[in-house]
Structure 1
Amino acid sequence: MELTGKLKILLVLGCILSAIGSVLTLGPFVYIYFIIKEILTVGGNINLVNTGVVIHYGWLALIFAISGIIVTFAALMCTHVVAFKTIKNVRYDLLKHLATLPLGFHTMNPSGKIRKIVETNTFQLEDFIAHRLPDLVGSLVTPAAILILLLYFDWVLGIICLIPLIAGFAIQYSIMKRSSQKFLEIYQNSLEDMNNSAVEYVRGISVVKVFGQTIYSFKNFYDSIIRYKDFVLKYTLSMEKSMSLFVTIINGAFFLLVPAGIILSSYATNYESFVLSFIFYAIFAPVTASMLMKIMYTASDQMMVSESLKKIDMLFNEKPLKEPENPQTPENNNITFNNVSFSYISEHKEELALEDVSFKVNEGKIMALVGPSGGGKTTIANLIPRFWDVNKGEIRIGNVDIQEIAYSELMDRMSIVFQDVYLFKDSILNNIKFSKPDAGREEVLKAARLAQCEDILEKLPDGIDTVIGTKGIYLSGGEKQRIALARAILKDSPIIIFDEATAFADPENEYKIQRAFEELTKNKTVIMIAHRLSSIRNVDEILVLKKGKILERGSHDELLKNEGLYATMWKEYQRGLSWDVGKQIEDNRSGGDFPDSNKLQDSLSGYEIENKRGEVDPNA
């Protein structure tokens, strides 16, 4: 009810109308009883039947039937309006809330789980409000009306009809109470696991196809399907006997009614009246059973929706990124790390991704982060925009702790270009404008030109208005990177966080990315994650990271003179540039060896950190 907000009155009206409609649908049975009574009163002689009375009762039965349909339809209209508006509001609020949660939440929670809550669980809520809730109200009111009818015409036959119904529900309640809640919880969790594995399977389909594998080879997905199937099958078989017994008992009123009727007929003072009552109960008892069956199914749906609401509430209860009570505005764009320590939390262990890291990047300067995988480069880049908050120490921009800066202002101050670029299935124009929605067309075209995107736009059928992902139009990794740079140039933020992607670009794209990067970083405070050491020879300062600590710092020339890890990496990088695959194979055949990989391995040994969650390496 809380989720319906201002629509509560309309929902209550729908439930009241549903209750009225359920009672009205019983009217025809009452008037059919009076019609049969009128016929039996004259000994079954049609010529003696008062046709006026029969027609009167017939019209009343028809009126009640039509009124029941109209009122029930009106009830469903009310509940459907409430359901559709509620589900729209809930999904909107969920997505809005998700946007306020730190990136750590999204990393720790698989997208399949979140997708199931936003789509499947909210759909179950919609279905419950639109259909099951009015059915439940109607089903609860109907038994009261039925009980009155059963006891009104002949209380003895009425009690006989109620005995199997009461017995059946008592048995089923005892069984369902022990198992249903536990079943629903496991059922929801099994669906989540299967959704998570399905999303992972789809995302990794290219790897599956490349290695010629099938769904049976993708163990996580296949196992989640088998677990779901086995659990549902096991539960269904466990309920087979009890459910069969329940259905048999509640539908057994007729079989109990026949012998009871034979016995009671001998004691009847008015035989015709007794026969009339017996016929009514013989017709009405199965109808009663089917109406009461609705209660069981609706109750089951109610338990299912309760589990869905728990999942929705769980998502709403996740704490959003904390906003400062009295936000401050930095005077400049210096970036300072003061004794920062941070760890990614996992189920198995907690290991520091950064430990007592301190450095400063002055406004307008460029700092490069280098080091082996797991050193903490991406962690530093993620902490500056508060994708996570530090466990210890502080990060400052212009002498203001970033946690004391309004998040909207913090994000306005920086542009982030990561290696894994995501483009929406929309026009290139709108993809670039994503960083500045109010930008004009000419402004976007200028940003695209500065990002060296002119050759991309020239080859596309609709230029900058071309929709990516339609008609077989896709961009290469280097081209995507340039579109991402155009976004950042358009935003024109004073701080740039850049994960260099030229390591996997062809020479032409690499050259254009470098030129776009030069445009982007003019007079900006820049922190870049470098993968090709040649691209950072002229930066202001280089930090060499190892296992979350700063191993070395200085300019390119200074670090070469130190003859430490950076100097070793530079030498191996230079050797890699001059390495000729064909020549090396020939040398190897004649007794030579590949480049001194053992030396490089010794230098870099111990630098790789175990994947935190078994899914992604956030320190890459």
Structure 2
Amino acid sequence: MKQKKPSSLTRILGYAGGHKNLTILGCILSALSAVLGLAPYLCVWLVARSVLSTWPGLDGAGNLGLWGWMAVWTAVGSILLYFAALMSTHIAAFRTARNIRRAAMTHVLKLPLGFFAGNQSGRLRKLIDDNAGLTEDLLAHKLPDLAATAVTPIAAIVVLFLFDWRMGLLCLLTMVLALLSMCMMMGGKNAGFFHRYQQEIERMSGEAVEYVRGIPVVKMFQQTVYSFKAFYAAIQDYSDLASQYAMSCRMGQTCFLTFINGAFALLIPAALLIASGGDVRTALVNLIFYALFAPACGQMINRIMYMSEAVMEADEAIGRLDEILSQKPMEESKVQKKPAGDAVVFAHVTFTYPGADRPALEDVSFSVQSGQVVALVGPSGGGKTTAASLIPRFWDVDSGNVTVGGADVRELDSTALMGQVAFVFQDTRLFKESLLENIRAARPDASREEVLAAAHAAQCDDILEKLPQGLDTVVGAKGVYLSGGEQQRIALARAILKDAPIVVLDEATAFADPENEHQIQKAFETLTRNKTVLMIAHRLSTVQNADNIIVLSEGKIAEQGSHSALLERNGVYAAMWADYQRSAKWKVGKEAAV
């Protein structure tokens, strides 16, 4: 028998831990507050009955003060109970949201690194933070209101029939009709609107970020938002969806508002009919009570509508968090091995990206022996970066194996694996922290002197000299930004500080100008001295002295050997070298056309 999936609310409360009882207490207090909030209406009826029964004199209405003070104190009691309810649920909500964020981030840290290559960091932050915020709002405000909304109608129905069943029946009829109108609005073809609405909001938000990033290009070429087709299409689709929903709700919304506010119109003729056949004063007292109580019933229906939206929000929030939590974490071997040495070996490796039709690497075998420098070159899309990414387990291979120090990377402890390899990626990421902390990210226990030594070895002295606080300058604050080449040198300082026996360099000079490239090359010499090095480069001048050059094309090894041997072979590498030589001689100007 298939196990029933727990509701979103049950799952959210599961994150509350020991604070779940506070949530339950808050809901009980909120329900009591709502029931106590009906007492002033009863007091008003008692006051009206006393006044009208002794009218025009008030000498016989001796309990007016008592009923009046009871109305005041029950109202105050209702407010205090509700305040206590919110205090309880807020404490529980904050702890629950914290636990959700912690659980999501703990899971994220266990995911393979390749997951982050295919998912924007901003989107992940939004998924975790915004949806945790939705659950916080649900528990802090909407869940206690939901408890009150569930209890109040029952008490209200009892009160409706307490004084005059005929007027009570009229009020109840309008409530039922309003509920049916609400179901008309939120059911049928509109049932899936909230999910589509959230999707369009997320899409529009993502495209807006891309548009803002592209504003310099938009302004440079005198374009408008209409030229940014993806963003414009997202706005239009959202607008169309909202318009369609509004149009489809016209009849339901009209009926809903009519029935919610129409009870009073029915009560007056009903009171006249009742008065004509009985006690006029009693009919008038009951009319006053029901005229005051009917709008309160309308508010209850409104709250029911908002609560149904809250439940849908909770479903949506949990569903979106599941996008992350359902991702399969990187498997850790139960038998943890330790690398014996620093050689890297690819043995018949085949790998296909998730969702791709063809392998990115197919039956690739090569080795980087201890102390060797091996270069991966080839056309774009040939599989160079993919091969380098398999060493730190961005993804796991489909077949074959990648070994570091004789141990399959899938059998190595992730911490041990990361400690064995230093990476310098093409796209360098710096935190909005001081340069000291940015470099020390490679080894948090490093002293300031060790960080300075690493920065010096990475040719960062000129960077530190021009910054206002030197090593303590916060990157990205108060207009402090670094060029692509300068960021690469900071990344090299990290790798030097880490001092791992294996170094992977991925397009490390891709964004460097000639001056920065020269300094980066000097930093390379320090970083790669007595290390096992796997480097990727489009600038073939950087790989001439490599011990072995592997040419990857369409996911396969086309050829390999030394620079001179590959030129003699007159194959793919020789053609690439010829193209590189021609591009090196190219220059801008009239002479270039001669």
Return the TM-score normalized by structure 2. 0.94
Conservation of the 8 A alpha-carbon contact between 1:342 and 1:355: yes
Q: Partner of 2:423: helix, strand, or coil?
A: strand
Aligned twin of 1:440: 447
Which residue, out of 38, 55, 76, partners 1:43?
Answer: 55
Aligned twin of 2:10: none
Aligned twin of 1:368: 375
* Structure 2 letter corresponding to 1:261: A
Matched, 1:72 2:90: no
Q: Structure 2 vs 1, CA of residues 224 and 465 (structure 1 numbering), >3 Å: closer, same or farther?
A: same
Structure 1: 5+ residue stretches without partners: 588-620
- CA drift of 1:174 comes to 4.2
Which residue, out of 474, 479, 496, partners 2:486?
Answer: 479
Which residue, out of 302, 307, 313, partners 1:293?
Answer: 302
Which residue, out of 127, 130, 133, partners 2:137?
Answer: 127
* Structure 1 letter corresponding to 2:416: E
Aligned twin of 1:150: 160
Conservation of the 8 A alpha-carbon contact between 2:361 and 2:383: yes
Matched, 1:20 2:27: no
* Structure 2 letter corresponding to 1:20: L
Q: Partner of 1:526: helix, strand, or coil?
A: strand
Aligned twin of 1:114: 124
* Structure 2 letter corresponding to 1:283: L
Conservation of the 8 A alpha-carbon contact between 1:111 and 1:196: no
Aligned twin of 1:526: 533
Q: Deviations over 1:233-267 (max 9, x none)?
A: 11012102211111101322211222222222222
Aligned ranges 1:511-590 → 2 under 5 Å: 511-582=518-589, 584-587=591-594
Q: Partner of 1:550: helix, strand, or coil?
A: strand
The alignment yields a C-alpha RMSD, in angstroms, of 1.7
Q: Structure 2 vs 1, CA of residues 440 and 404 (structure 1 numbering), >3 Å: closer, same or farther?
A: same
Q: Structure 2 vs 1, CA of residues 204 and 382 (structure 1 numbering), >3 Å: closer, same or farther?
A: farther
Distance 2:205 2:16 in 1: 28
Aligned twin of 2:7: none
Aligned ranges 1:418-457 → 2 under 5 Å: 418-457=425-464
Aligned twin of 2:321: 312
- CA drift of 1:481 comes to 0.6
- CA drift of 1:292 comes to 2.4
Distance 1:319 1:446 in 2: 40
Q: Structure 2 vs 1, CA of residues 56 and 518 (structure 1 numbering), >3 Å: closer, same or farther?
A: same
Aligned twin of 2:340: 331
Distance 1:500 1:514 in 2: 12
Q: Partner of 2:138: helix, strand, or coil?
A: helix
Distance 1:209 1:496 in 2: 41
Q: Partner of 2:338: helix, strand, or coil?
A: coil
Aligned twin of 2:196: 186
Q: Partner of 1:369: helix, strand, or coil?
A: strand
Distance 2:29 2:48 in 1: 30
Conservation of the 8 A alpha-carbon contact between 2:351 and 2:360: yes
Distance 2:214 2:393 in 1: 29
Conservation of the 8 A alpha-carbon contact between 1:28 and 1:62: yes
Distance 2:154 2:18 in 1: 31
- CA drift of 1:523 comes to 1.5
* Structure 2 letter corresponding to 1:129: L
Q: Deviations over 1:149-169 (max 9, x none)?
A: 111122222112211111221
Which residue, out of 468, 479, 486, partners 1:461?
Answer: 468
- CA drift of 1:176 comes to 2.0
Aligned twin of 1:139: 149
Distance 2:56 2:154 in 1: 33
Aligned twin of 1:228: 238
Q: Share of identical aligned residues, percent?
A: 48
Aligned twin of 1:99: 109
* Structure 1 letter corresponding to 2:359: L
Q: Partner of 2:557: helix, strand, or coil?
A: strand
Distance 2:231 2:44 in 1: 58
- CA drift of 1:578 comes to 3.3
Aligned twin of 2:227: 217
Aligned ranges 1:337-376 → 2 under 5 Å: 337-346=346-355, 349-376=356-383
Q: Structure 2 vs 1, CA of residues 193 and 580 (structure 1 numbering), >3 Å: closer, same or farther?
A: closer
Q: Structure 2 vs 1, CA of residues 575 and 293 (structure 1 numbering), >3 Å: closer, same or farther?
A: closer
Distance 1:495 1:87 in 2: 41
- CA drift of 1:214 comes to 2.6
* Structure 2 letter corresponding to 1:448: A
* Structure 2 letter corresponding to 1:338: A
Aligned twin of 1:160: 170
Q: Partner of 2:87: helix, strand, or coil?
A: helix
Q: Partner of 1:467: helix, strand, or coil?
A: coil
- CA drift of 1:180 comes to 4.2
Distance 2:239 2:546 in 1: 58
Which residue, out of 160, 169, 173, partners 2:183?
Answer: 173
Conservation of the 8 A alpha-carbon contact between 1:361 and 1:525: yes
Distance 1:410 1:202 in 2: 38
Aligned twin of 2:96: 86
Deviates more, 1:58-67 or 1:192-201: 192-201
- CA drift of 1:577 comes to 2.7
* Structure 2 letter corresponding to 1:536: V
- CA drift of 1:283 comes to 1.9
- CA drift of 1:586 comes to 4.6
Q: Partner of 1:352: helix, strand, or coil?
A: coil
Distance 2:243 2:110 in 1: 40
Matched, 1:392 2:399: yes
